[in-house]
Chains A and B, each alone.
Chain A
Amino acid sequence: MKKTGPIPHVLTLLVLAILFALPAGILVLVGLAPGWRFPDLWPKRFSFTGIEFLITHRDQILTALASSFFYSLATVFVTLVMCLTPAAAFARQRFAGKRLLEALLLTPALVPPMTFAMGLHVVFIRLSLADTVAGVILILALFTYPYMFRALVAGFQTLGEQYRTCAKNLGAGPVAIFWQVELPLLVPAMIAGGSVVFLVAFSEYFLVFLMGGGTVPSFTGFLMPLLASSNRSLAAILTLIFLLLPILLFFVIDGSLMRTYRKKGMA
C-alpha cells in the first residue's frame, strides 16, 4: 500500500478534537466565566462564583452524586446476578428456540423504555416500590441488563470449555470451577458490560425521575433544572463532574485489576 504522510492522520485527530474534546474544553471555560456573553470568543473575565456555589451547596450535590453512584453500582450488581447463569447457558448449550429467546431478551434495551416503565409505574405505586431506591434500581436493571448479557455471553464464548475441563480433570467440583476458575477469568467481560450498564444508569434522567419521583436524589435530577436556567456556569461545572467521575472510576478499576493480575502472574 502506498505510504501516506502524517497530514491525513493529524487531520483525523483534529476533527475528533473539534467534535468531541472541544465541547469539554468549552464547558471548562463556561464554568469559570459566568459573565461570558455574545460576541466574545474568549471570556473577558474569569470568576469562581460557580465553584463557590458548588461549595455552599456541597451537601445537596454530594447527596445527589452519592445516590446516583450507589443506585448505578447496585444496578450493575443486579444485572450481573441476573445474567451470569443465563449467559453461561447461552454461550455453551444448544436448545430449541435459542435465537428467538435471545432476540426477545434483548428487546428491553431497544424499545423505548417509556413504553414498559410507565405501565409498570401503577404497579410500583401499589407495591410501594415507587419513590424508593429499590424501584429505581429495578427499572434501571430492566432497561440495562441486555448490555451485561451480551458482554457475558461473549466472555463465556472466548473463555471456551478448556479451563472448565481442565479444572474438572483436576478434581474440582462445579462450585469450585465457577468461583475459582471461571469467575476470575470473566472479570474483563464483567467490567466491559458493567461499565456500559453503569454509564447508562448513571446518566439516565427520565426513568429515575419516574420511579424515584423526586424522593430518590439523583445527579441528573439535580442538574436538569440548572441546564435551562440562566446560570450556565454552574451547569457546566456539574456537567464536568459527570464526565470526571466515570473516568476516575474506570482508572481505579483498571489500575486495581492490573495490580491483581500482576500479583497472580497473569499479565
Chain B
Amino acid sequence: MFWAPSRTAILILKLSPLILPFVVLFCGGVFLTVCQSLGIFTPLPHTGGILAAYGVILSDPSFLGSFGFSLGVALVSAAASVAAGTFLAYRVWQLPKALAGAALVYKIPLILPHIAVAFVVLIFWSRSGILSSLAWHLGLIQSMPDFPNVLYSGWGLGMILAYTLKGTPFAMLLILALLVRFDVRQIQTAAMLGASKRRIFFSIVLPRLAPAMHTSFIILFLYSFGAFDIPYILSESRPGMLSLNVYNLYFKHDLARRPEAMAILTLMLFFAVVFIIAYSRTVTRLENGVRKL
C-alpha cells in the first residue's frame, strides 16, 4: 500500500513534461478558440446571442461551399498521395542495391517547405510555365491561352498537385519503413505457387502495408484540409479553402467578426476529431474481419 501511490506519483511526474504543455497550451488553445466562437474573451464585447457566430456561418452558403471544397481537395490529394506513394515505395523496395541510393531523390519534396512546393507547381503548370512550353514545342498548342487553365480552373487542381507532390514522398517514407521489415519469402512462396505479379501486390503486399497507408492518409488528409501555406499561394478566388476564409476574417475584417473566424475553426476541429475517430474505428472493424496470416 505504501508503494502504490508513490509509483503513480512518479509516473505522473515522468509524464508531466508532456501532459502539462498538452493541457495548458493545446487544450487551453482549443478552449479559447471555442470560447471566442461563443463571444467570450473576444477583443470586442460581443453583441448577440451565444451562438450568433455559428448562425452567421451556417446560414452562409459560401461556408458550405468552402467546406465541401476543402474536403474535396484534401480527399483527392491524400488519396492520390497514398496510392502513388504505395506503388512507388513498392517499386523502390524492389530496386537492386546498386540502384537504391539513386532512389533517395524522392526525399527532395520532403525537405522543401510547402510554400516552395507550391512555387514549383506554379513554375510547371501555369499557362506560361514549363509544361505549357513543352506542349507548344510538341505542337499541342499554338499559343499560351490554348494551354488548359489548370491553376485557375475552379477545381483546386493547383493545390491538389502541390499537396500530392508533397504528400507522395511522405507516404513513401512511412510505407518504406514497413517494407524494410517485410519478409521477401512470402512473395517468393506466392510466386512459386503461381501467383501473378498483380495478385502478389494486391493480396500479399498491400494488406501488410495497410497500417502505414491508413496513417499517412489520415495525416495527409487532415493537413491538406486545414493548412494555410499552400492555399495562400495557389488558391483561386471562389470557393476558397476554409483556412483562407479564417485568415481573412481574422486579419482583414474588423474585430467584431472574430467570433465567426473562431466558429469556423471550432467546426474544423470538430470535423477533424470526428474524422479521426470514425476512420480509426472503421479500420479496426475492417481489420477484424480480415484473416490474419
Contact surface of A with B, Cβ cutoff 8 Å: 1-2, 6, 8-10, 12-13, 15-17, 19-21, 23-24, 26-27, 30, 37-41, 81-86, 88-89, 93, 95, 101, 104-105, 107-120, 122-123, 138, 141-142, 145, 149, 199, 202-206, 220, 223-224, 227-228, 232, 235-236, 239, 242-243, 246-247
CB pair A122–B11 under 8 Å, yes or no, is no
What CA separation (Å) do A86 and B169 show in the bound complex? 30
Contact (Cβ within 8 A) B32 A122: yes
Which of B14, B116, B130, B227 has the most chain A CB within a 10 Å cutoff? Answer: B116
Asked if A199 contacts B115 (CB within 8 A), the reply is no
B127-142 residues with Cβ-Cβ distance < 8 A to A are: 127-130, 132-134, 136-137
Chain B CB within 10 A, most for which of A114, A141, A228: A114
Instruction: Scan residues 89-108 of chain B and give those whose CB is less than 8 A from a CB of chain A.
Output: 91-92, 94-96, 99, 102-103, 105-108
Chain B residues near A21 (CB-CB < 8 A): 105, 108
Is the pair B109, A20 in contact by a Cβ cutoff of 8 Å? yes
* 9 closest cross-chain pairs (CB), A and B: A112-B226, A203-B113, A119-B33, A116-B29, A119-B32, A120-B29, A39-B136, A86-B18, A115-B269
The answer to whether B79 has its CB under 8 Å from any CB of chain A is no
By a CB distance below 8 angstroms, the chain B residues around A138 are 25
B262 touches A119 (CB 8 A): yes
Chain A residue nearest in CB terms to B117: A23
Q: How far, in whole Å, are A24 and B33 apart by their CA atoms in the complex?
A: 39
If A16-B103, A38-B144, A112-B268 touch, whether A120 touches B122 (CB-CB below 8 Å) is no
User: How far, in Å, is A217 (CB) from chain B's closest CB?
Assistant: 16
Residues of chain A contacted by B144 (CB below 8 angstroms) = 38-39
Chain B residues with a Cβ closer than 8 Å to the other chain, count: 89
What B residues does A112 contact at CB under 8 A? 222-223, 225-227, 243, 265, 268-269, 272
Q: With A and B bound together, what is the CA distance between A144 and B11 in angstroms?
A: 23
B57 in contact (CB, < 8 A):
no
Residues from chain A with Cβ under 8 Å of B187 in the complex? 1
B106 → A minimal CB distance (Å): 5
A246 to B116, CA, bound (A): 14
Please, how many angstroms separate the alpha-carbon atoms of A149 and B15 in the complex? 12
Closest to B102 in A: A13
Q: Which residues from chain A contact B114 at a C-beta distance below 8 Å?
A: 203, 205
A-chain residues with CB within 8 Å of residue B99 when the two chains form the complex: 9-10, 13
A220 near B113: Cβ-Cβ < 8 Å: yes
CB-CB under 8 A for A9 and B228, given A17-B105, A223-B116: no
Docked complex: B157-189 residues within 8 A CB-CB of A = 165, 168-169, 187-188
Of B17, B223, B246, the contact of A83 (CB 8 Å cutoff): B17
Q: When chains A and B are docked, how far (Å) is the Cα of A40 from the Cα of B132?
A: 10
The answer to whether B268 and A86 have CB atoms under 8 Å apart is no
Q: Is the CB of A1 within 8 A of B191?
A: yes
- Residue B63 is within 8 A (CB to CB) of chain A in the complex: no
B31 part of interface (Cβ distance < 8 Å):
yes
* A149 surroundings in chain B (CB, below 8 A): 18
Q: Which residues of B contact A16 (CB under 8 A)?
A: 88, 92, 102-103, 105-106
Residues of A within 8 A of B276 (CB): 107, 110
* A30 and B123 within 8 A (CB): yes
CB nearest to A207 among chain B residues: B228
Residue contact B88 to A142, C-beta cutoff 8 Å: no
Q: Which of B6-42 contact A (CB under 8 A)?
A: 11, 13-15, 17-19, 21-22, 25-26, 28-36, 41
Of residues A12, A24, A40, A41, which shows the largest number of chain B Cβ atoms within 10 Å of its Cβ? Answer: A12
Report whether A93 and B229 are in contact in the complex, using a CB–CB cutoff of 8 Å. Answer: no
In the complex, what distance in Å separates the CA atom of A161 from the CA atom of B96?
36
Across the interface, which residues of A come within 8 angstroms of B269, CB to CB?
A: 111-112, 115-116
User: B110 within 8 Å of A by Cβ?
Assistant: yes
The answer to whether A199 touches B188 (Cβ under 8 A) is: no
Task: Beyond the given A145-B21, A224-B115, please list 11 additional residue pairs across the A-B interface where CB-CB is below 8 A.
Answer: A1-B192, A20-B108, A23-B109, A23-B120, A85-B17, A112-B243, A115-B268, A116-B26, A199-B110, A243-B111, A243-B112
Q: Complex Cα distance A13/B250, Å?
A: 45
Given A120-B28, A227-B115, A242-B113, also A26-B124 (CB < 8 A): yes
B contact residues around A88 at 8 Å (CB):
14
Is residue B219 within 8 Å, beta carbon to beta carbon, of the partner chain? yes
Closest residue on chain A to residue B192 by CB atoms: A1
B33 x A227 contact (CB < 8 A)? no
Report the Cα distance A84→B153, complex, angstroms: 48
Question: Is B266 engaged at the interface, CB distance under 8 Å to the other chain?
Answer: yes
Nearest-CB distance from B196 to chain A (Å)?
11
Q: Which residue of A lies closest to B132 (CB)?
A: A38
